[in-house]
DNA sequence: TTGCCTTATGCTACATCTGAGCAAAAGGCA
DNA sequence: TGCCTTTTGCTCAGATGTAGCATAAGGCAA
């Protein structure tokens, strides 16, 4: 029994810190993720992804992990072959060379994911979410709870790695332009944030969710930093990824007691205050213990 | 630009507890995972997986999540189309109906993953692993450390969810029959355990790794239990999955303080000792808090 | 019936981890 | 010199986790 012929497409969510902001590599307008079909010459899916990103953006990738495989009927196909999209998450540093394509601030694409400041991008849509929750009698209780948990309302804690769930809820409630026409609301009621081609924003959300979850149990942050850095830069990076602030002293304690970094001996005087020591990542820990990430000291009170 | 035509195949790792042993649903001899191609009639990859498992084994699946997508060149293809395999992890209960195919004890397939008893299936191959580690001068230090960490030797802690890494290391060191001929050892030196068709044992290892990781942060164990159960049954199930023993009293406390279960009022007298209360899973917690799994109270001393 | 076996269940002592905050160090700058 | 900044060191209480003791409640054999 041989199956339907399909084409396999690779999609890459490539993340880097650009000017202190977590950003994703995109092409064109509306922005789209680097992508390309699997060709006979490609040894593996991962190799194919590297090849396409390099070819389309002129950048070499370091860290790369598989995210998810999509093949829903509603994805737009090329010709008659059903497209299967295998998505990957890549981490890199912006580097010197301009390359092709641009770095797009991911909080411009998913503004509600940034909770570091008090001005929450959600305030505008929160009433619409509540309205959606109560629009169907039978589902009201369930929907209310789902909204509250997913967006951290009504006393529920904000959970940073529910990125995908939040996007999907906005999609279902017609608050993003990607939502199917029958669910959509007047433009004035849309959630803020730039859209991307097709369902690429959904794939981005998948990547962001994975990344946020992963920094908690694997030392992947360092893939995004320059070889040496101050603890403040490390903290800024983690905060930017997690989209929330952490307790500085406790963060430092966690990093140090896990022996994730070692001093270089240099100091960085451009801090505006007391100069900061520079550190480098102890690559050996990748071997020493396969576990241990950058744990986030959370805040009990919100 | 349109890509190479490929076929998409679905592969299912379906897990259930059968007679107290975690088992995987297989077909034929050598055992193989339920699998089938993606057809035009399938709405999604997940739906296709359900359909094939049901068609081939007569069993309906409950919980189902995507595992990983494989497309390496060395996977055997049907005809000229390159096969892409999307694997899924399913959880179920064995049920009454016989169905087609059989439940294979997964520790018969991957014996070294069971560390509940003192007789470790690894003892036999450990010397061969050390020999492999020291067989190449240049890589010796690195390999030694990798072996020690992956298999919890030389003072390193055994890490339950390194299932895939362990299989891959055995594969690379030629200690499983699936290893390429040029790496293989005399049959006498092979690691114990029944093999499966092709690379299915590797896919199984991927599933087991995911499952072990997941029981720690999502309440998925309950998918494998009957509707009501005693705390001992729950603990046995968790221990069987994790492949290691836990501290009974602390396990109970964790379960209770997380309010994962509620008493049914019944008691089970077939315990051999004091009768045990029966509990049921509070399905509501799936909504209440999206987090919270079955945390494992570990043992510091080994 | 009694005593001993088993497993279930309750509870305590102790170590470690975590969240929160105080305070000193060390630079720049008015 | 005094005040601003950021970095760094440290304390302290509450939460969480580990380990083990003790009791409850059944079956079973002497």
pLDDT value of position A135: 87
Sheet holding B228-230, edge to edge: B228-230, B276-281, B261-268
Tens-place pLDDT, residues B134-165:
988 888 888 998 898 888 888 777 888 899 99
In the block, tokens 């509990």 appear at: B279
A232 CB contact with strand D at below 7 Å: yes
Residues in chain B with CB shorter than 8 Å from the CB of A68 are 66
Which CATH entry fits the domain spanning B6-105: 3.90.79.10, 3.10.129.10, 3.40.50.11810, 3.30.70.360?
3.90.79.10
Is the peptide bond between A30 and the residue preceding it cis, with omega within 30 degrees of 0? yes
Nucleotide nearest to A302 in CA–C1' terms: C19
Categorize the per-residue pLDDT at A80 as very low, low, confident or very high, splitting at 50, 70 and 90.
low
Give, as one character, the DSSP assignment of residue B157: P
* Protein residue closest via CA to C1' of D25: B274
* 3-state helix vs strand vs coil in chain A, percent to 5: 35, 20, 45
Nearest Cα neighbor of B45 from A68, A46, A197 is A68
Q: Which nucleotide is nearest to B276 (CA to C1')?
A: C8
Residues of chain B with CATH 3.90.79.10: 6-105
Measuring from the CA of residue B252 to each C1', which nucleotide is nearest?
C9
Asked if B66 reaches chain A (Cβ–Cβ under 8 Å), the answer is yes
Judge: B3–A7 Cβ closer than 8 Å, yes or no: yes
Give nucleotides in strand C with any atom < 7 A to a protein C-beta: 5-12, 18-23, 25-28
Which nucleotide, over all strands, has the C1' atom closest to the CA of A274? Answer: C27
Nearest to B5 among A7, A289, A290 (CB): A7
Which three-class secondary structure state does DSSP give residue B197? Answer: coil
pLDDT digit string, tens, across residues B251-285 = 998 888 888 899 999 898 887 888 999 999 998 87
Q: What is the DSSP-derived secondary structure letter of residue A20?
A: T
Q: What is the pLDDT of residues B220-235, one digit of tens each?
A: 999 999 999 999 999 9
- Nearest Cα residue to A87 out of B66, B98, B263, B216: B66
- Give burial (CB, 10 Å; 0-12/13-18/19+) of B114: buried
Say how far residue B29 (Cα) sits from the centre of its chain. 20
Give the whole-angstrom CA distance, residue B207 versus residue B241.
Answer: 11
SS3 at position B158: coil
Name the fold adopted by A6-106.
Answer: Nucleoside Triphosphate Pyrophosphohydrolase (3.90.79)
Name the residue in chain B with its Cα closest to that of A79. Answer: B2
- State how far the alpha carbon of B59 is from the alpha carbons of A86, B18, B44, B55, B91, in Å: 28, 15, 19, 8, 11
Give per-residue pLDDT as tens, B62-111: 999 999 999 876 655 555 678 899 999 999 998 776 667 789 999 999 99
Put simply, the chain A residues between 273 and 292 with a CB less than 8 A from any chain B CB are 287-291
- Model pLDDT, residue A300: 47
Distance of alpha carbon A150 from alpha carbon A130, whole angstroms: 12
CB atoms under 10 Å from CB of B245, counted, come to: 14
Averaged pLDDT, B168-196 = 89
* B82 touching chain A per CB within 8 A: yes
Which part of chain A is CATH 3.90.79.10? 6-106
Q: Give the mean model confidence (pLDDT) for residues B196-202.
A: 95
Intervals of CATH 1.10.10.10 along chain B: 218-288
Q: Write down the pLDDT at residue B195.
A: 93
Of the residues B44, B69, B148, B149, the best mutation for testing chain A's interface (the one with the most A CB atoms within 10 Å of its CB) is B69
- Tell me how many degrees the CA angle B119-B125-B130 measures, rounded to the nearest 5: 125
Q: Is the dihedral of CA B27, B29, B33, B36 positive or negative?
A: negative
Closest B-chain CA to A47: B72
Q: Which residues contact A193 (CB under 8 A, 6 or more apart)?
A: A108, A109, A110, A111, A112, A121, A176, A201
Torsion over CA: A255, A261, A262, A267 (sign): negative
Name the CATH topology of B218-288. Answer: Arc Repressor Mutant, subunit A (1.10.10)
CA B94 – CA B23 distance, rounded (Å) = 9
B79–chain A Cβ distance below 8 A for any pair: yes
The bridge status of strand B261-268 relative to strand B276-281 is antiparallel
Assess whether the previous peptide bond of B30 is cis (omega < 30° from 0): yes
- Binned at pLDDT 50, 70 and 90, residue A294 comes out as low
* Sequence-ordered alpha helix ranges (H) in chain B: 45-57, 106-109, 126-133, 140-151, 163-172, 200-214, 231-242, 248-257, 285-288
Closest by CA position to A234, among listed A153, A188, A293: A293
What is the token pair recorded at A199? 């369902």
């Amino acid at each position: 029994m041989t199956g339907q012929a399909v084409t396999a497409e690779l999609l890459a969510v490539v993340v880097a810190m650009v000017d202190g902001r977590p950003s994703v590599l995109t092409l064109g307008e509306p922005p789209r993720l680097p992508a390309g079909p699997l060709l006979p010459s490609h040894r593996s899916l991962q190799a194919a992804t590297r090849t396409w990103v390099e070819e389309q953006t002129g950048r070499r990738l370091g860290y790369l992990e598989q995210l998810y495989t999509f093949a829903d009927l509603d994805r737009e196909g090329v010709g008659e072959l059903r497209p299967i999209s295998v998505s990957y998450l890549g981490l890199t540093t912006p580097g010197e060379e301009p390359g092709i394509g641009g770095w797009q601030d991911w909080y411009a694409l998913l503004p509600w994911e940034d909770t570091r400041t008090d001005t929450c991008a959600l305030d505008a849509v929160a009433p619409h979410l509540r309205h959606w929750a109560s629009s169907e009698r039978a589902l009201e209780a369930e929907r209310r709870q789902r909204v509250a948990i997913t967006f951290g309302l009504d006393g529920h804690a904000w959970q940073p790695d529910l990125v995908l769930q939040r996007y999907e809820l906005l999609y279902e409630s017609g608050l993003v332009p990607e939502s199917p026409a029958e669910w959509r609301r007047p433009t004035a009621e849309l959630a803020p944030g730039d859209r991307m081609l097709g369902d690429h924003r959904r794939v981005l959300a998948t990547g962001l969710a994975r990344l946020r979850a992963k920094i908690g149990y694997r030392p992947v942050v360092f893939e995004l930093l320059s070889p040496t850095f101050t603890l403040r830069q490390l903290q800024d990076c983690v905060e930017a990824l997690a989209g929330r602030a952490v307790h500085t002293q406790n963060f430092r304690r966690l990093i140090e007691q896990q022996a994730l970094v070692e001093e270089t001996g240099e100091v960085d005087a451009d801090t505006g205050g007391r100069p900061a020591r520079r550190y480098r990542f102890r690559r050996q820990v990748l071997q020493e213990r396969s576990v241990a990430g950058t744990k986030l000291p959370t805040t009990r009170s919100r």
